Structures are given as structure tokens and as C-alpha cells.
Structure 1
Amino acid sequence: MDFLKLKAEILELANCCEGRVGVYIQSEEGIIEENCRKAFSSASLIKVPILLAGLSQAETGLLQLEEEVQINNAVRVGGSGVLQSMSKGLKMKVIDLMTLMIIVSDNTATNLVIDLIGKENINGYMKNIGLKNTELNRKMMDFEALKKGVDNTTTARDMAFCLEGLAERSILSVENKDLARRILNGQQYKNKLANTVDLEKVQVANKTGELPGVEHDCGIFTGNGRTVYTAVLVDQLKNQAAGRDVLSFIGNRIYRYMIKD
């Protein structure tokens, strides 16, 4: 599949979805964009820039990745993740909290990491690396904030730009960019963009997100000498499966493009 065909098929898929779709896809041959600067609820995609902010603080000594943190009952929240089900008295290293935040989207781990870094520091870091329309305004599972209209927001362009920074720009040291890529590569949720991808041929280092009416995924596709940075955000869904389907279809088209099918 050539790039022009890829672009045409992805834009058609985006426009046919029942929900609103934001797309930003960057390859060496060009960019595909649709609603890419429109703000969406970030859902768990916000955890990617939180990871990068944490690694940035580690570089300046403000955060110690090997420090152990107590997982008290008071900090455990529901939703995705495993820490809510673990034993009392559990301690975990900061780097392990950050890893769980990404690979199983652990909400308890995320809230602990937010406390360690500081919300204002995370927002400042995101602005410094060029994420113009991404904001952390609440913790995970804070439904009281949501009822008041307080939410975390991002755009497809910002999320792809964030991922592209792990390869193309000096947002972190080489060592920590590699660490971030390894953590994203360990993602356990591959049911959206990577749903039909042969992961032995094309790697997908990704982070998903979902809320009622919302289905997101962003990832770095690498394989066959090509790299594609992708962010697809879908909201206003009446049927969650419709969002997952469009993500799966788009991921399949990118995969076919990369293996030159």
C-alpha cells in the first residue's frame, strides 16, 4: 500500500465512524491529519506525558526511580490496574509504579506518580516539550471533578508529537528515551491499533485510553525499516465497539502500509 492510498483509506474510516475522530499519523512520507488539534478528553493517554515528566525529573535528581513507595489503602482506586487488588503493606519502586501506569494503565500507580511529580510540574513539562493543548486537571477516577466539568484533555497532534519526541527530539536523555520506549513496548492492551498487527513483523509501542463514549490509542509502529507515529482519538460514541473497530481498521491499514502489502 502506498502513502496516498493509506491516507485516503484512513480519512474515509475516520469520516465514516459514528463518533468524532481525531487523527494524526506521521511517517517519513508525510502526515495524515483530521481534527488533529481538536481537544478530546485524554482518558488514559495522559499517562504517556506523565511518564516522560517523571523521567525528566529523574534526570535532574528531583525524583528517585529506585525509591520505594508505600501503597496504602487510602490511595487505592478502582478502574484499570492491579494495585487495588494487591496485599496490604505493599511497597513498590517509583520506576515500577511508572511501568504499571503504562502497561496495565494502573490508576492507583498513576495517582501516586502524580503526587510524586506534582500536577503543576507535569503541566509545565508538557508545555515545555511542545504539547500545546494537553492538560492534567484531575487524578484518575476522580468522578467528583468530572461531574464539575474538570477533565484531562489532549489532541491527536499532541499525543503523536509526544511519541515522536522519543526518537526525533531531545526531550529526554538517550537512556531515558530508550527506557520510555521499552515501557511502552511492554503494553499489555493491544486490542485497538495493534489488534490485527503481526507483532513479530511490526512492533507497536502504545498506550490506550477509554471512558464511556471514548476510545483512544496512540503508538509508535516500527518495522520493515519504517517508523510511523500514530494517535487516533474517538469520542461521542453511543457504542464503544464502533470506536474500537475504527482503531483496529486504522491500525490494520498502517500495518499493511509498513509491510508494503
Structure 2
Amino acid sequence: MYFFNLDSGAALNVGGDDVFPAASTIKIPILVAFFKAVDENRISLSERLTMRPDLIAPEAGTLQYQKPNSQYPALEVADLMITISDNTATNMLIDRLGGAAVLNQQFQEWGLKNTVINNLLPDMEGTNTTSPRDLATLMLKIGQGELVSPRSRDRLLDIMRRTVTNTLLPAGIGPGATIAHKTGDIGTVVGDAGMVDMPNGQRYVAAMMVKRPYNDPKVVS
């Protein structure tokens, strides 16, 4: 786990540099890369992305059930990638943003030492990697106004606040707190990372990843 208080600078690092299969937490840096591309006029929010057959993915999401070669606005694709963890939407954005190698180079430039895309989603084998510290560092940069414009930051956090799965970090933040986050789960690994706003005005970034026996419910109860 890795926690950081944006107001006090206090940090908690318990194995936060350990490398884990990223599962769907890899969608956080992809989302940041998307909005950075928007800010740099390399992609527009309204641009229509084509759901090519080679990008259609099983497991999470609803786009997989739609007609191949359908088109969707880029912002809608980014929204689906996070809110319902749509794997097809993720693959569409990886493709549009230049592919894994281009994105991995960006992640390195942002200081994310352990965050790598090796395969398209769903990546049930866990070849895509990250670490709690990488994910928290990324959210910290967003919270400090780095990487993307204020307008894109607001859109990014709004999408992450509408993440449907709320059984991990949201279950422990207490009444009155809000969280912008993204979960990940490939059975043997679960993770969650995001930004927490407390009722007292304090803001934290938090990231946790856990290895477990396949689908063991005790880990996320």
C-alpha cells in the first residue's frame, strides 16, 4: 500500500514499490494519457473511435456485445473504460493513443517505474504491471495540477468518482468522504487506487494491491 496526504505531506509506504499485475488499474494511466492528448490537441473529446473486431475484448464491459466497427465518441469510450471497466473501450484507447510502446514511454517520463502495458485487455495472465507507489504517484501528480490542464483534471476526476465498483477502498473511507478511484481484479490480484477527499477538507491519494488465492472473498470483505 501507499498513502500520501496532499496537505501535510505525510506518507505511508508498506511494500508500495512491489510490482503487481496491474489488472484494470492500468486504466488509470491510460485515462491520464487520453486527457493529456486532448490538452495537446492530438485527439478531441468528440472524435469517433471505431470498435474494430481485433480490439473487442471479453470479461468486463458492454461494448463487446455491440456490432463490430461501431463508432463511439472518444469521451464516451474513456468514460466506459473507467466507470464500468470496459476492456474493449480500453483497447480502443490504447490503439488510438499510439499503442503500448508509446504509452509505456509516457509512463516512464511521468516517473512510473513499474507501470508497463505488455498486452491488450483483459490480460488475465497478469502481464501488465504496476505498483501501489506508481498509482499513488500518478494520482498525486493529478492532485497537484501536473500532467493535464485544470479542465481535463476535473473531467478525469469526475469520471473516476463514478466508478461503479465500490467494494474496495470506498468501503473503508467512512461517512462523508468521497473518492475518485479505479479498481482492478484478475482473481489472483485485486487493487484499487484513487484520490480521497475527507469531510475535514484533507485530501489523500491511496493505492493498495493484494495477491490472494483465486477469487478468495476474504481479501475484499
**Match runs of 1:20-39 below 5 Å:** 23-27=1-5, 28-29=7-8, 30-39=10-19
**What is residue 70 of structure 1 aligned with on the other side?**
50
Alignment CA distance shift 1:238-1:79 (3 Å): closer
1:142 to partner: Cα distance: 4.6
State the SS of the aligned residue for 2:80: helix
**What is residue 203 of structure 2 aligned with on the other side?**
227
State the SS of the aligned residue for 1:114: helix
Is the CA contact (8 Å cut-off) linking 1:214 and 1:240 kept in structure 2?
no
Q: Which residue, out of 93, 98, 103, partners 2:73?
A: 93
Q: Which residue, out of 110, 126, 134, partners 2:107?
A: 126
- The Cα offsets for residues 167-198 of structure 1, whole Å up to 9 and x where unpaired, read as 11421111111111111111111111112555
Q: Residue type matched to 1:137 in 2?
A: N
Q: Which residue, out of 137, 151, 166, partners 2:142?
A: 166
Q: Residue type matched to 1:77 in 2?
A: A
**What is residue 56 of structure 1 aligned with on the other side?**
36
1:240 to partner: Cα distance: 2.5
* Whole-Å separation in 2 of the counterparts to 1:197 and 1:64: 35
User: What is the alpha-carbon root mean square deviation over aligned residues?
Assistant: 1.9
Runs (4 or more) in structure 1 with deviation over 6 Å come to none
* Whole-Å separation in 2 of the counterparts to 1:40 and 1:142: 13
- The Cα offsets for residues 181-239 of structure 1, whole Å up to 9 and x where unpaired, read as 1111111111111125556x111111000112111111211022111110000014355
**What is residue 167 of structure 2 aligned with on the other side?**
191
State TM-score, norm by structure 1. Answer: 0.77
Which structure carries more helix by proportion? 1
State TM-score, norm by structure 2. Answer: 0.91
State the SS of the aligned residue for 2:169: coil
* Whole-Å separation in 2 of the counterparts to 1:205 and 1:131: 20
User: Does 1:213 find its partner at 2:194?
Assistant: no
**Match runs of 1:115-154 below 5 Å:** 115-118=95-98, 119-142=100-123, 146=125, 151-154=127-130
* Whole-Å separation in 1 of the counterparts to 2:101 and 2:53: 25
1:88 to partner: Cα distance: 5.4
Is the CA contact (8 Å cut-off) linking 2:136 and 2:206 kept in structure 1?
yes
Q: Which residues of structure 2 form unaligned runs of 5+?
A: none
* Whole-Å separation in 2 of the counterparts to 1:189 and 1:69: 25
Residue identity over aligned pairs, in percent, reads 26
Q: Which residue, out of 172, 176, 182, partners 2:158?
A: 182
Is the CA contact (8 Å cut-off) linking 2:212 and 2:219 kept in structure 1?
no
Is the CA contact (8 Å cut-off) linking 1:215 and 1:240 kept in structure 2?
no
Larger Rg: 1
Alignment CA distance shift 1:38-1:197 (3 Å): closer
* Whole-Å separation in 2 of the counterparts to 1:63 and 1:238: 39
* Whole-Å separation in 1 of the counterparts to 2:68 and 2:115: 35
- The Cα offsets for residues 63-90 of structure 1, whole Å up to 9 and x where unpaired, read as 2221112324443211111111235563
Q: Which residues of structure 1 form unaligned runs of 5+?
A: 1-22, 246-261
* Whole-Å separation in 2 of the counterparts to 1:62 and 1:197: 37
**What is residue 202 of structure 1 aligned with on the other side?**
177
1:61 to partner: Cα distance: 1.9
State the SS of the aligned residue for 1:229: strand
* Whole-Å separation in 2 of the counterparts to 1:75 and 1:172: 27
* Whole-Å separation in 2 of the counterparts to 1:236 and 1:197: 22
* Whole-Å separation in 2 of the counterparts to 1:56 and 1:120: 16
**What is residue 10 of structure 1 aligned with on the other side?**
none
